[in-house]
């Protein structure tokens, strides 16, 4: 009858929890006696075991009620298991390590541990700190895997996905970590060694920091990687035009062709893996063989779809090819395979950059940076956005933050060196470029900055000149189709006075690369520098036809076209370029100048420049360009205010591309208003600034020193500076002003 009552109560148990007590109480005394026996007649431990058995029975009995036919036997078996677990857990603190996973599980007081007493809690916490200490001492590849397996309890598949390795590799690393941890933990548990000093109460926090660093590197792998080299890679756009893009590479492309052949032979024998194929794809990418690289990347993705870096690389390729639709597709696919908020925010920023919305892109990158501030790729992207929005010094701040933490970061060093050179901080750019070549000897961006510095410093003769030309020849031989390198060689010839040789060099380069807009652009630059104006318009017109989206080409073409006021197509060209580059700070001043020269529409030109000042982060440059437009409009008082503002806003006290021409224009404005005393003060300032500049750019420094000396009536110093500027091969259009200065000197004589 009792059995029948128990069966009835068991049937009612799943829907009525209070029934449990009616089933439990009749067996409580027997269960306690058995627990007391199993716990070596210790009443306290027996009560504790019975309590845990009761809680476990209350959780599990409703689930298994329909299977229970002998309730007392089921409860005795459950109580027996509880006591065995408690005794086993106690013994783990007395004897060595048999199962590391169980040891760590029972020691971690933050897990849902089974039946901890107060004493065991203290011992377990101490053991957990000791385990964390030993894990933190493992090599990085084993430490990360041990942390995720033993502490975070992730599966092998999850570990493999997180660390971008195979499942078999994850298992092997866990096995190696287990072997390394067993001996020191055995010594600690058996008392064979004293407790390590590092096993403090902060050992788990120290381990978290180490693993956090590894996780951050994993995040970097998602949105970039460990950069080992840089290259200019030839790119053919969807429109058929060819250009060169600076790319940062994950694989060092030294001996690329030899490596490529070796990998191809390997893949013929072992065609199932994806890692070697990914390495081959990166080599093909670095060599500019992008069609082959795309095929290799696609094969890798079919074998492993969780490699977010490949999606980002594919998007990068199509972006450079100016195929925005394909680039957007791969960015969206990359977002679909990651759950990390910072990575998603970063990819949103990349999509905004694709659309030209750099303000929104910066907002996304800043969100990503707030979530993972240790990831330098987020900060690099913010710096790039500032640069595109014409905030160069804020951009430099971002790059400098990265270099404060990692002085050998190739991307930050490269970008900051290029930006410093563009801003005219040649000495600092040269210093950083030298540091960069020690890390990446074939970094062409750094080598070009060094060569430019040497040429502008007139290191073109003697042993210094030999070293300069050797450096130029080396970069030309390594990338013979890159027009920028031929431009450096042409500059070298110009500085040596071999102007005709420079023109012939660039003409030959154009003939060998008839479809290269860049070649025609640099040929036109060479013609401008040497004063050969016959073919300039034709060369820039051809370059503009080949690549109308290059802002440098559009700017130069517009400058040359504005000299021909009879050109009826000039207003159409102005509107076309303004529509294409409505906010570009480098071309808007040229457009404003053309508007005044072509249509005399001063109000529109000045409105353009006022908008530029409001949107620009480089206020010194913006105010200087605004002042030049005011001078064209003959508003000298307003231009004086703008020029003084520009000079006050100059960030660097050394040469900066603005101070010399700004002081020159300021002196001319004072003269136009017949403020002779202020003009003389301005010419003296110009002379002092020019003297400092001679150290960095002797030709330009001597040119402005000659102007200042002429205005101050110092004929001797003026002649000396003019001769020095000629000796250092000052090129056009400043050379034409120097010729006018010689005419004034002849009149004085």
Q: Which of 138-142, 203-207, 636-640 has the highest average model confidence (pLDDT)?
A: 636-640
Distance CA 695, CA 55 (A): 85
pLDDT score recorded for residue 393: 82
Closest to 450 (Cα-Cα) out of 536, 463, 461, 464: 464
Q: Higher confidence at residue 572 or residue 271?
A: 572
Average pLDDT over residues 121-147: 71
Give the Å distances, CA to CA, from 651 to 59, 546, 686.
Answer: 71, 38, 17
CA 444 to chain centre: 18
pLDDT exceeding 90 applies to what percent of the chain?
4
When the pLDDT of each residue in the chain is averaged and rounded to a whole number, the result is 78
Burial (CB count within 10 angstroms: exposed 0-12, middle 13-18, buried 19+), residue 700: buried
pLDDT tier at 253, thresholds 50, 70, 90: low
Asked if residue 304 has pLDDT above 70, the reply is yes
3-state secondary structure of 132: helix
Q: Higher confidence at residue 579 or residue 506?
A: 506
Which single residue is written with the structure tokens 């390997």? 266
Contact between 182 and 117 (Cβ < 8 Å): no
Which residues make Cβ contacts (< 8 Å) with residue 100, sequence separation at least 6? 150, 178, 181, 182, 185
Asked if residue 653 has pLDDT above 80, the reply is no
Distance CA 42, CA 430 (A): 80
pLDDT tier at 119, thresholds 50, 70, 90: very low
Give the pLDDT confidence of 219-250 residue by residue, as tens digits: 333 455 556 666 767 777 777 776 777 777 66
E strands, 188-327, where? 229-236, 242-249
pLDDT score recorded for residue 652: 57
Distance CA 349, CA 345 (A): 6
Which residues make Cβ contacts (< 8 Å) with residue 667, sequence separation at least 6? 679, 682, 683, 686, 711
Contact between 644 and 666 (Cβ < 8 Å): yes
pLDDT tier at 102, thresholds 50, 70, 90: low
Distance CA 299, CA 192 (A): 54
Give the pLDDT confidence of 305-331 residue by residue, as tens digits: 878 888 888 988 888 888 889 999 999
β-bridge mates for residue 137, sequence order = none
Average pLDDT over residues 66-74: 84
Q: What pTM value is reported for the model? A: 0.61
pLDDT tier at 195, thresholds 50, 70, 90: very low
Q: Higher confidence at residue 381 or residue 207?
A: 381
Which residues make Cβ contacts (< 8 Å) with residue 400, sequence separation at least 6? 412, 416
Average pLDDT over residues 32-50: 83
Closest to 13 (Cα-Cα) out of 62, 72, 60: 62
E strands, 56-212, where? none
Q: Which ranges of 567-714 does DSSP label H, i.e. alpha helix? A: 570-580, 588-599, 602-615, 619-632, 636-648, 659-672, 676-693, 698-711
3-state secondary structure of 18: coil
Which residues make Cβ contacts (< 8 Å) with residue 287, sequence separation at least 6? 253, 256, 257, 260
Which single residue is written with the structure tokens 């154009």? 510
Of 56-70, 138-152, 279-293, 647-661, give the lowest mean pLDDT range.
647-661
Distance CA 330, CA 348 (A): 12
Burial (CB count within 10 angstroms: exposed 0-12, middle 13-18, buried 19+), residue 119: exposed
Closest to 224 (Cα-Cα) out of 76, 115, 376, 119: 376
Q: Higher confidence at residue 521 or residue 109?
A: 521
Output phi, psi for 232, to 5 deg.
-85, 120
Average pLDDT over residues 252-264: 72
Average pLDDT over residues 389-405: 86
Average pLDDT over residues 125-132: 67
pLDDT tier at 186, thresholds 50, 70, 90: low
Which residues make Cβ contacts (< 8 Å) with residue 560, sequence separation at least 6? 524, 536, 537, 540
Contact between 577 and 561 (Cβ < 8 Å): no
pLDDT tier at 377, thresholds 50, 70, 90: confident
Give the pLDDT confidence of 512-558 residue by residue, as tens digits: 888 888 888 888 888 888 777 768 888 888 888 888 888 888 888 88
pLDDT tier at 197, thresholds 50, 70, 90: very low
Contact between 412 and 397 (Cβ < 8 Å): no
Average pLDDT over residues 192-207: 46
pLDDT exceeding 70 applies to what percent of the chain?
84
Closest to 60 (Cα-Cα) out of 89, 28, 17: 17
């Amino acid at each position: 009858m009792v059995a029948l009552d128990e069966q009835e109560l068991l049937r009612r148990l799943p829907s009525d929890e209070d029934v449990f007590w009616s089933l439990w109480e009749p067996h409580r005394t027997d269960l306690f006696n058995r627990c007391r026996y199993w716990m070596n007649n210790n009443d306290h431990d027996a009560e504790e075991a019975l309590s845990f058995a009761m809680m476990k029975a209350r959780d599990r009995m409703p689930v298994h009620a329909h299977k229970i036919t002998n309730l007392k036997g089921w409860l005795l078996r459950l109580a027996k298991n509880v006591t065995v677990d408690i005794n086993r857990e106690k013994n783990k603190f007395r004897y060595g390590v048999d199962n590391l996973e169980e040891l760590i599980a029972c020691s971690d007081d933050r897990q849902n541990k089974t039946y901890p007493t107060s004493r065991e809690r203290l011992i377990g916490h101490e053991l957990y700190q000791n385990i964390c200490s030993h894990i933190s001492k493992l090599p990085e590849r084993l430490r990360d895997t041990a942390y995720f397996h033993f502490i975070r309890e992730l599966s092998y598949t999850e570990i493999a996905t997180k660390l971008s390795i195979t499942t078999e590799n994850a298992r092997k690393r866990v096995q190696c970590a287990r072997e390394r941890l067993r001996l020191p933990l055995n010594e600690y548990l058996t008392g064979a060694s004293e407790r390590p000093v590092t096993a403090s109460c902060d050992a788990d926090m120290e381990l978290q920091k180490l693993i956090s660093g590894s996780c951050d590197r994993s995040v970097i792998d998602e949105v970039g990687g460990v950069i080992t080299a840089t290259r200019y890679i030839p790119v053919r756009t969807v429109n058929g035009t060819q250009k060169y893009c600076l790319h940062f590479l994950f694989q060092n492309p030294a001996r690329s062709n030899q490596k490529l052949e070796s990998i191809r032979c390997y893949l013929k024998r072992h065609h199932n893996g994806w890692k070697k194929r990914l390495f081959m794809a990166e080599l093909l990418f670095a060599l500019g063989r992008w069609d082959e690289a795309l095929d290799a990347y696609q094969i890798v993705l079919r074998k492993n779809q969780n490699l977010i870096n490949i999606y980002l690389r594919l998007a990068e390729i199509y972006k450079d090819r100016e195929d925005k639709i394909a680039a957007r597709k791969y960015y969206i696919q990359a977002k679909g395979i990651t759950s990390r908020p910072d990575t998603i925010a970063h990819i949103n920023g990349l999509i905004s950059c694709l659309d030209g919305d750099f303000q929104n892109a910066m907002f996304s990158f800043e969100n990503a940076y707030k979530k993972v501030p240790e990831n330098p790729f987020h900060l690099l992207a913010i710096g790039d956005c500032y640069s595109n929005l014409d905030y160069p010094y804020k951009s430099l701040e971002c790059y400098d933050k990265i270099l404060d933490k990692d002085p050998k970061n190739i991307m930050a060093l490269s970008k900051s060196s290029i930006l410093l050179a563009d801003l005219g901080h040649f000495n600092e750019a040269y210093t950083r470029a030298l540091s960069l070549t020690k890390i990446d000897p074939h970094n062409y961006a750094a080598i070009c900055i060094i060569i430019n510095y040497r040429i502008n410093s007139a290191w073109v003769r003697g042993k210094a000149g030999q070293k300069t030309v050797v450096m130029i020849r080396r970069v030309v031989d390594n990338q013979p189709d890159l027009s920028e390198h031929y431009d450096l060689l042409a500059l070298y010839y110009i500085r040596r006075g071999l102007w005709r040789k420079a023109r012939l060099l660039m003409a030959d380069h154009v003939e060998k690369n008839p479809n290269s807009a860049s070649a025609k652009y640099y040929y036109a630059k060479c013609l401008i520098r040497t004063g050969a104006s016959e073919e300039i318009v034709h060369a820039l017109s051809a370059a503009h036809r080949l690549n109308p989206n290059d802002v440098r080409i559009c700017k130069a073409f517009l400058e040359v076209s504005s000299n021909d006021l009879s050109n009826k197509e000039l207003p159409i060209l102005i509107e076309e370029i303004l529509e294409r580059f409505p906010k570009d700070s480098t071309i808007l001043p040229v457009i404003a100048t053309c508007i005044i020269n072509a249509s005399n529409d001063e109000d529109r030109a000045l409105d353009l420049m006022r908008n530029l000042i409001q949107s620009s982060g480089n206020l010194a440059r913006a105010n200087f360009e605004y002042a030049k437009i005011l001078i064209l409009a003959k508003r000298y008082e307003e231009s004086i205010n703008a020029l003084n503002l520009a000079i006050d806003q100059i960030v660097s006290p050394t040469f900066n591309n603005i101070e010399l021409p700004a002081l020159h224009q300021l002196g001319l404005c004072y003269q136009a208003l017949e403020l002779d005393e202020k003009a003389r003060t301005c010419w003296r300032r110009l002379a002092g600034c020019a003297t400092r500049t001679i150290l960095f750019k002797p030709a330009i420094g001597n040119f402005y020193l000659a102007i200042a000396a002429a205005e101050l009536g110092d004929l001797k110093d003026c002649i000396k500076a003019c001769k020095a500027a000629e000796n250092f091969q000052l090129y056009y259009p400043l050379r034409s002003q120097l010729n006018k200065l010689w005419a004034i000197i002849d009149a004085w004589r």
